[in-house]
Amino acid sequence: MVSEMFEKLLGSSITSKREVIEYNSIIIEKNNKANAKRELYVLFLGIFMELFLIGVYDIPNIINNGWKAENGIYYLIAHTLLFFISLTGTFASYRVLRNKEFFLFKFIKYENLNAVLSLGFLSAIAVITSLDQVNSDSIMIYIFFSLITGFFFIMRPKFTFFALSVSLVIFIIGNVLYQTDTGILTSNLTNAILSIIVAFFISVVTYNSFVDHTITTIKLEESTKKLEFLSSTDDLTQISNRRKYEQNFKKEISRSKRTDIPISLIMFDIDHFKRVNDEFGHVVGDEVLIKLAESTTSQIRLEDTFARYGGEEFVIILSNSTLEKAMQKTKSIQQNLKKVVFDKDITITLSFGVTQYIPGEDSEEMFKRVDKALYEAKETGRDKIISR
């Protein structure tokens, strides 16, 4: 029972190992961003705090009492280390938030750099707390920052364990050297060990909660994108559906009204498609639609919209395209279709309606015009391109 609780605490509560591995790169990226946001301003303030301590306490102490008096040189080294940790962490965090490189990133990843900075930070605090034992028996500074490290830094448990363990060893050695009262020493070591254990479990819970939340967010984003794709994509041909076409068409009309950028609309359908379904079956008919969609997709640009309007009818919105360019594109689609090999040696032709947006009209007026052009192409013999 205890082992199960421990495993649950160390493991992710709602995610599997497979999911953690699958989303590992995204987790690391988001983890880096989260740590960078947490650390930037705190470490920036740390720069000035350490400069203040060095300038107001350490250097005057050494000048007045000498290098060895009251461990002045050791305090100076510890505070200088904290200064460089704060300085390095500030610049590294800033670069991460700006998605830019930092010179240390050539040698060590930001995630690993965070572990090193945490180790250096806690080790320096352990040294300072040990030095304080000469005049005081308090270790609250070390306990406080150990707990803060467990809560503040979002690190993998192995990194946190290493940083906390090494700092604890330094703390133990320092206290043995500088605390002469056996009773106080025993109390200090006991309290320090307990604080490190608590800090580690806080860190584990914090990290696992972060991982759980991140993976849940990723899954939600993926589900949203999938739903958006399904709601805007034709199931059979995998091109845009009528809903997506209508959305994009209104956007293009609105943009054209604002910028005077020309747009054109092509509408076409397969001549006598009912015969294909009746003679060869709907499975073959579906294959014809799929191959037609693939052939046409290869002819249009990414900024254009190609959609299945319904049945065997298709529409293409040509962005930044005049009627002349739209006619050229239509002829290209028509010619390219002749190269497509259909099952059962089926040969198909297409009827096209083409038009260009007239300033001042709305989407319905433009659509009615292209629909009439398509109707005229079908009524006057099919396999034609009619523009209006």
In degrees and rounded to multiples of 5, residue 300 shows phi and psi of -115, 165
- Alpha carbons 149 and 170: distance in angstroms, whole number: 16
Residues involved in catalysis: 312
- 350-356/264-270 β-pairing: antiparallel
In degrees and rounded to multiples of 5, residue 314 shows phi and psi of -135, 155
Q: Residue 160: which residues within 8 A CB-CB, separation 6 or more?
A: 115, 118, 149, 150, 153, 199, 200, 203, 204, 207
Q: Residue 228: which residues within 8 A CB-CB, separation 6 or more?
A: none
Contact 352, 384 (CB under 8 A): yes
SS3 call for 320? coil
- Dihedral (Cα; 236, 238, 243, 248), 10-degree rounding: -150
Contact 116, 158 (CB under 8 A): no
